[in-house]
Amino acid sequence: MSVSLPGSLVSTEWLAAHLDDPDLVILDGSFKLPGVTPVAAEDFAARHIPGARFFDIDAIADHETTLPHMLPSAAAFERHATELGISNDSIVIVYDTPGLMSAGRVWWTLRTFGHDKIAILDGGLRKWLAEGRPVTAETATPASGRFRATFDPAAVRSKAYVLANLESRAEQVIDARSAGRFTAEEKEARPGLRSGHIPGSLNLPFNALTNPETGELLKVADIRKAFEMAGLDFTKPVITSCGSGVTAAALAFGLHLAGKVDVAIYDGAWAEWGQPGDTPVDTGPGGR
């Protein structure tokens, strides 16, 4: 291999220096909520980092469920990864437009299917553009990759597991949604969902991990402090959640940078839990 990752987070300077490396696969994992236009794929078509391929979070998903962008099967993910030109020995860099909103979901998905040669671009497209670095509307046509998926069930939690965890409290739950959505002061964007949060869960909005001016990640010590201020105990395992499993992965990435390995994501997230039914819902401050 002619390139190796310096860590799970790479700078714009590092990526600019390695743009032409043949071992590198660059993924634009940008995502927008339903109804927001232009959609992320249209933004990508208009401009993206040269050589990048679009990782469509809604398309690379389980289409047998009505829940949004749930993890696909290992076989389906192998097909998608191969089409994106990803092989098991590829070095993957993923970015999104704001800096850390949906890139974490792509990072987590690849790791859940056994690929750990992946890093997130610090500051994302936002910082790249602010520095005047090149973008293009030209779409890359990569050669097919050779990817074999190895699914890690420890990375994912189901609704049944989270329900059982309400009694056992074996794992902490922390929610990446805004404080207003968490406390039910704001309504959910997805129609038909109740407002509130999983009983006993903590709240840390995903954008609390980044510099609001540049989109860059905070220093590791400050990331850890943010989680601790939210009430997280670093000695206990963690489940991250959010609206639909996207920004939960931003929290998972932040925890990863802080050295925490016993972290899983509730993939169904509030899109599943908040549906009318028998799942209990709390409002107001969390952590009770």
What is the spatial distance between Cα 11 and Cα 149, in angstroms, rounded to a whole number? Answer: 28
Q: Is the pLDDT of residue 288 over 70?
A: no
The letter for the amino acid at 237 is P
pLDDT of residue 287: 66
Task: Give residue-wise pLDDT tens across range 88-143.
Answer: 999 999 999 999 999 999 999 999 999 999 999 999 999 999 999 999 999 988 89
Q: Is the pLDDT of residue 286 over 80?
A: no
Arithmetic mean of pLDDT, 184-210: 95
Residue type, 282: D
What is the maximum alpha-carbon separation in the chain?
54
Burial zone of 41 (CB within 10 Å; 0-12 exposed, 13-18 middle, 19+ buried): middle
The Cα 284–Cα 82 span in angstroms is 45
Alpha-carbon distance of 52 to 128, in angstroms, equals 13
Tens-digit pLDDT profile for residues 65-99: 999 999 999 999 999 999 999 999 999 999 999 99
Give the global pTM.
Answer: 0.96
Question: What integer pLDDT is reported at residue 53 of this predicted model?
Answer: 97
**What pLDDT does 1 receive?**
47
- Residues 136-168: pLDDT tens digits? 999 988 899 999 999 999 999 999 999 999 999
State which amino acid sits at residue 42. Answer: E
Q: Which residues pair with 27 in a beta bridge?
A: 53, 94
Active-site annotation, residues: 242
pLDDT at 178 over 80: yes
Distance CA 260, CA 253 (A): 9
Tens-digit pLDDT profile for residues 227-237: 999 999 999 99
**Distances in whole angstroms, Cα of residue 8 to Cα of each of 12, 23, 49, 119, 235:** 13, 17, 19, 4, 22
